[in-house]
Amino acid sequence: MYKVGDYVIYLKDVCQISAIKEKYMNDTDYYILVPLNDNSLKLNVPVNCKSLRNLITKEEVNSLIDNMVNIEVLPNNDKTLEAEYKRLLQNGSHEDLVKIIKTTYLRNKERIDNKRKISDKDKTYFEIAEKYLYTEISVVLDLTFDETKNYIINKLAGVLENE
C-alpha cells in the first residue's frame, strides 16, 4: 500500500497521493490522487485499482536510455501511422513512448530538412509521448521537465559516442 506523498502512475499520468480515505465509498479504501500536470484535479481511486503502478526506477531509466538507440522506429506508412501511434499510447510502455518520440522526431526532421511544414499529427503525438515519458522520469530523477529532456539527450550522445 502506498503512503501519503508517494508518487504513482495512474493510467498514464504521474500523480501524488495527497490523502488516503479509509472505508470511503462502498466500504473501500481510496487514494486521493493529484495529477502533476493538473493540481486542481483530485481523483478518488480505490487502493486495489489495476490502473495504478509504481514509477520507473533510476536503474530502469538508465537502462531505457542505454537501449533507446536499439528501439525501432515505425514504418513510414501514413495510412496506418496514426492508428499505430494510438495503439502504442494505449499500451503505454516506456519503449512504446520512445518509439513514438523517435518516429515523430525523425519524420518532422525530414520534413524540415526538405523545407516542408511539420505534420500536426506527428507534432501532437510527439508532445503527448514526451509528456508521459519525461514527466515520469523527471520525478524519478528529481529534475524539471526541461532538465530531464537535456539529461536524456546528453546520455544518448554519450551512448552514441561509445558505439
| pLDDT at residue number 64 | 94
What average pLDDT does range 108-123 have in this prediction?
Answer: 90
**Every domain of the chain and the residues it spans:** 7-53, 58-161
Confirm or reject CATH 1.20.58 for domain 58-161, answering yes or no.
yes
Please give the model's pTM, rounded to 2 decimal places: 0.88
The Cα 47–Cα 1 span in angstroms is 7
Task: State the Cα torsion 95-101-107-112 to the nearest 10°.
Answer: -160
Tell me the percentage of the chain whose pLDDT exceeds 70: 96
Rounded to the nearest integer, the mean pLDDT of the chain is 90
pLDDT at 163 over 60: no
| pLDDT at residue number 34 | 97
The Cα 7–Cα 44 span in angstroms is 15
